[in-house]
Amino acid sequence: MHLIIVDTAQIQSYVFNSNRLRENIGASHLVAQATDSWAKEAVQYTVKKHNIVADGRLDDTRSIENPADNLDGEVLYAGGGNFVVLFRDDSKAKDFIRTLSRKVLTDAPNLQLVVAQRQFNWKQSLRRTLKDAFEQLAEKKRSRILSAPLLGLGVTKMCRSTGWPATGWVKKIGDDPERPASSEILAKLRVVDRDGKKLSEADRRLTSILPCPEGYDYPAQLDHLGGTKGEHNFIAVVHADGNGMGQRIMGIGGGDPRLDNREYIRSLRSLSEAVDRASQMALKDVLSKLETRIQKDGGDRIVHRNTAGKIVAEIRLKPAEDGLCYLPFRPVVFGGDDVTFVCDGRLGLSLAIEYIRQLEKHTEDLPDKKGKLTASAGISIVKAHYPFSRAYSLAEELCRKAKKYRRDINYDASCIDWHFALSGLSGTIEDIRRREYKVDKGLLCLRPVIVGDAKAGSNFYRTWAAVEKSIEELQGENWAERRNKLKALRDALREGPEAVKYFRIKFNEGKPLPRFDASCTNWEQSGWYSGYCGYFDALELVDWFIPL
């Protein structure tokens, strides 16, 4: 037999290289099609006998090693951006690769496929062969020769999104003028632009998984996410990724290479499908909670009030066609344990945390019986017209920092990290924090933090609960209405504990700072503990955080 794994390369630049949300949405849809629907269609075109049923599901009752089924090809699983299939015949395997490649070249220009193929005997260990094939795939990604196409001649116009030669025109939509576009951009927009009132291809896929609440529509432009022009026009890019999924997959069956191949396929497929389902359910719960929050505030806005009833922050939903309103939220990449979405900047943290909590809830009973799946997330909050690819790169980098923090504390918990960029960004997040948050006393921010309960005896204070409690206190009537007091506290925290004690006497009648941790009074007295400042994160978010 012949084992084939299909993957895509340079996804970040393909999906997020544009400031236009419509193009990012279209690119994400094309990537998802290439390693799912199109790959399944290529299998069906290549061989007559397979295990794909009418709606694209995989038939678990049919197997390639069973002579009675007489299958020519079997899809093992499609998930996590990979497509894995077995063929009996080498010529059919090559036909499949040729068919899928042609489809991608014509319908998703510049999307780069990477394919690994290995011979396989059913008496061998499928687990080991699959592991070897993934290593071969990774090596192909590292060593592939980058193409150097002719970018254009003097008589060509340049695409404003990619810089490649334009092959057509994009019509004017909203503030986006008519412009020349390359084949890549035209393909992305072809699956996201609507024909009259009909849903686009990308919208149909999204709404089939995540139906839009009645009375609302998903935005396809960043300006429709709810920001107020010139005032609070910020977006949040959220990238969340499951923790340790690779190890869980490799640990199927206890890691025993003698595990029966058919049992291994069932377990692999079952885990992949269960995680995919859980991720979709988590997004549905996030959307449901967001809708409930909107309805509570009148149906066309989200209002956050402090304990005294005064408005701290407000999002007015943008009007859409036919009397609908745009949701301040749009998934861009979804499926499996890897999720990216954009939203109004003031909702980024609350939606990310809600997604993580719901994912944990829906993965408590995964087929591998290894407990719930935790996740790490990075949230970049930037101006709406900040380069989108840079905002996504920052969110991905913050997600990696959250994962590293989880490994450093050796605790299986969900973690998040975020950055609020009022202006441009220069350097890595490490450079930024060293430049903007490092002072003589230590680090002004607690980030990254644990989403749930901290491990006993560890950095118990570096939790989202502590940050959220601080925000709640600083949004209260004794602080929110006194801008000079908040600014003075910010300056005092930068100078150190002695300056904070002086601040308390001058601005706070000698009273302690707001309490967010009952087990340690150092925070309330000096604002600092163990090299970390307890209030700076909250001060940054006091005007920007809206809880669900």
CA 454 from centroid of its chain's CA atoms: 24
8 Å CB contact between 215 and 348: no
Between 480 and 233, name the one with better pLDDT.
Answer: 233
pLDDT at residue 193 greater than cutoff 90: no
- For residue 100, the model assigns a pLDDT of 96
Q: Which two tokens stand for residue 158?
A: 């340049």
The count of other CB atoms within 10 Å of the CB of residue 433 is 17
Q: State the number of CA atoms in the 13 A half-sphere of 402 facing the CB.
A: 33
pLDDT at residue 517 greater than cutoff 80: no
- For residue 73, the model assigns a pLDDT of 94
- For residue 426, the model assigns a pLDDT of 72
Q: How far is CA 533 from CA 213, 364, 530, in A?
A: 41, 34, 9
* Mean pLDDT, range 173-198, rounded to an integer: 85
- For residue 228, the model assigns a pLDDT of 67
Provide the whole-model pTM.
0.91
Query: What are the pLDDT digits (tens) for 112-122?
Result: 999 999 998 98
- For residue 163, the model assigns a pLDDT of 81
- For residue 462, the model assigns a pLDDT of 87
Angle at CA of residue 255, ends 250 and 261, nearest 5° = 85
Give the separation between CA 414 and CA 429, rounded to whole angstroms. 20
* Mean pLDDT, range 477-500, rounded to an integer: 87
- For residue 214, the model assigns a pLDDT of 92
Q: Which two tokens stand for residue 419?
A: 């950055």
Q: Which residues contact 404 (CB under 8 A, 6 or more apart)?
A: none
| 38 band by pLDDT with thresholds 50, 70 and 90 | very high
Q: Which two tokens stand for residue 429?
A: 């997040």
Give the separation between CA 91 and CA 74, rounded to whole angstroms. 15
Q: What is the b/e burial string over 15-34, where b = at least 16 CB atoms within 10 angstroms of the residue's CB? A: bbbbbbbbbbbbbbbbbbbb
8 Å CB contact between 534 and 517: yes
- For residue 482, the model assigns a pLDDT of 81
Give the separation between CA 236 and CA 222, rounded to whole angstroms. 10
- For residue 488, the model assigns a pLDDT of 92
Q: How far is CA 378 from CA 241, 245, 340, 400, 465, in A?
A: 9, 17, 10, 8, 17
Q: What is the b/e burial string over 537-547, where b = at least 16 CB atoms within 10 angstroms of the residue's CB? A: bbbbbbebbbe
Query: What are the pLDDT digits (tens) for 392-431?
Result: 999 999 999 999 999 998 888 999 999 988 776 777 888 8
Q: Which of 217-226, 250-259, 363-372, 391-400 has the lowest mean pLDDT?
A: 250-259
Round the average pLDDT of the chain to a whole number and report it: 88
Q: Is 404 left (phi over 0), alpha (psi -120 to 50) or beta?
A: alpha
Q: Which residues contact 484 (CB under 8 A, 6 or more apart)?
A: none
Q: Which two tokens stand for residue 373?
A: 């799946």
DSSP assignment of 246-277:
HHHHHTGGGG-TTS-HHHHHHHHHHHHHHHHH
Query: What are the pLDDT digits (tens) for 87-104?
Result: 999 999 999 999 999 999
Give the separation between CA 229 and CA 500, rounded to whole angstroms. 36
Give the separation between CA 110 and CA 27, rounded to whole angstroms. 10
Query: What are the pLDDT digits (tens) for 288-332?
Result: 999 999 999 888 999 988 877 888 888 999 998 888 999 999 999
Q: How far is CA 19 from CA 185, 221, 300, 342, 385, in A?
A: 12, 9, 26, 12, 7
- For residue 42, the model assigns a pLDDT of 95
